[in-house]
Amino acid sequence: MPEKALRMTWDEMIREELGPMVPYAPGLRASEVRERTGRSSVLKLSSNEHPTGPVPSAVAAVRKAAPHLNRYPDGSSDALERRLSERLGVAREHLVIGNGSNEILRLIAQAILRPGDEVVYAWPSFVVYPMVTQMFGGISRKVPLTSGEAHDLDAIAEAIGEDTRLVFLCNPNNPTGTVYARDAFAGFLERVPEGVLVVVDEAYFEYVTDEAYPDALDFFDGERSLVVTRTFSKIHSLAGLRVGYAVVPEALASALEKIREPFNVNMLAQAAAYHSLGEETEIARRARENADVRARVTSALWESGADVIPSEANFVYVRTERPRDVFEGLLDEGVIVRDFGTAPALRIGLPEARDTDRLTAALESVTRRLGGI
Ligand SMILES: Cc1ncc(COP(=O)(O)O)c(C=O)c1O
């Protein structure tokens, strides 16, 4: 019997990069909070989900597909990919569809990173960037956000060094909701060397109303090292099905095709996303409703003296010295928000228009009880 294998411990068997990693921690579930507070209805505003269900045509498509679940899904997501290609005006060779955009972020890191390669991104930002960096042996170079909690594209460009292979930009940024402007992005791209892949994560793209916001697809020409990722988990309300997509240069698309799971996008997700893509009027209405609720919640917080950051997404970021107290206070009111444990801040997802008063009343009540947020 091979001697070495006989003596191996779990620590030796599992890749050492995984040692310091911590699993992704989701927010509290609504059922846990219902049990804990005894309330029959809670507002779950902790995971940046869209507050209403999927469009009816997507639900109908899921019902229609369900009896066929004995079969594997279409491994090439053909219908969905065609529709995406038409909608985005992007050739199919440049499209990658994933089990959530999360899967695509991971596949990109897997395809690009070798141990010791550097990955630059703003911080705080989406927790998956450090995770995919670490799991493939990369080294994170975190660039602090500006005092206004926005990406500092100059500092990010300066942080790019010889060993940098990947840059993640999150626009709007999760968790702060801020965006960078078109001019700044154009200038930034000029400064990035060809051998560095820039991944622009536009998970909250559809919610943006700021006219200076750059649609990163406008900068995609198939040649430059640029990827744009988006998702059906947010404004399309399909988080539970897991489906996202990316526009990528062809060589990278071929690489990702080799390492993805054979049937990575399930049958129900393909059907629902296909139909939801066809509901442009409803998606535009949702964006307007979100902008309206965002303005109401932001001014309520502002008026109560809270340090709220203007957001372009479906959540707002509130800086507070006592995040735990505010988090617990809101839980008592039946409102679940996101407490990061590390940052002196909370992220509050936006509810439906009809629940806005409930959220602002809960915030007021906590402000009164704590003497400020
Ligand atoms: C910035 C950002 N990117 C990507 C994702 C992942 O989305 P998906 O559900 O498509 O995996 C999220 C989810 O919260 C996110 O906030």
Q: For residue 120, what is the domain's CATH number?
A: 3.40.640.10
Residues with CB under 6 Å of ligand 1 are: 48, 100-102, 126, 170, 174, 201, 203, 231, 233, 239, 244
pLDDT at 1: 77
pLDDT at 26: 82
Choice from 126, 129, 200, 238 to test ligand 1 binding pocket (greatest atom count within 8 A of CB): 126
Q: Is the pLDDT score of 354 beyond 80?
A: yes
Average pLDDT over residues 332-349: 93
Tell me the two tokens of residue 176. 């702060």
Is-contact 144 117, C-beta < 8 A?
Answer: no
Tell me the two tokens of residue 167. 């840059």
Residues 238 and 250 in one domain: yes
Task: Using a pLDDT cut of 70, give the percent of the chain over it.
Answer: 100
Choice from 174, 199, 235, 245 to test ligand 1 binding pocket (greatest atom count within 8 A of CB): 174
Residue 3 within a domain: no
What pLDDT band is residue 7 in, cutting at 50, 70 and 90?
confident
Domain residues for the domain of 342 are 25-53+281-370
pLDDT at 131: 97
Catalogue the E-assigned strands of the chain.
43-44, 95-98, 118-123, 139-144, 164-170, 197-201, 226-231, 244-247, 307-309, 315-319, 335-336, 338-339, 345-349
- Our count of domains for the chain comes to 2
Task: Point out the ligand 1 atom lying closest to the alpha carbon of residue 232.
Answer: 10
Give tens-digit pLDDT for 259-294.
Answer: 999 999 999 999 999 999 999 999 999 999 999 999
pLDDT at 307: 98
What pLDDT band is residue 27 in, cutting at 50, 70 and 90?
confident
pLDDT at 370: 96
Last residue of a domain, one of 277, 295, 321: 277
Residues 270 and 305 in one domain: no
Last residue of a domain, one of 262, 277, 292: 277
What pLDDT band is residue 340 in, cutting at 50, 70 and 90?
confident
CA distances from 281 to 234, 239, 285, 286 (A): 16, 20, 6, 9
Residues 133 and 34 in one domain: no
Residues 227 and 117 in one domain: yes
Q: How far is the CA of 203 from the centre of ligand 1 (A)?
A: 6
Give tens-digit pLDDT for 183-198.
Answer: 999 999 999 999 999 9
Q: How far is the CA of 369 from the centre of ligand 1 (A)?
A: 34
Give tens-digit pLDDT for 31-83.
Answer: 888 888 888 899 999 999 999 999 999 999 999 999 999 999 999 999 999 99
Mean of the per-residue pLDDT values of the chain: 96
Average pLDDT over residues 238-266: 98
Residues 38 and 140 in one domain: no
| Residue whose CA lies nearest to ligand 1 atom number 3 | 203
Q: Which residues contact 228 (CB under 8 A, 6 or more apart)?
A: 199, 200, 202, 216, 217, 220, 246, 247
Q: Rounded to an integer, what distance in angstroms lies between the CA atom of residue 106 and that of residue 42?
A: 33
Q: Is the pLDDT score of 342 beyond 80?
A: no
Give tens-digit pLDDT for 142-185.
Answer: 999 999 999 999 999 999 999 999 999 999 999 999 999 999 99
Q: How far is the CA of 100 from the centre of ligand 1 (A)?
A: 7
Residue 162 within a domain: yes
Residue 321 sits in a domain whose CATH number is 3.90.1150.10
Does the predicted model carry a pTM greater than 0.85?
yes
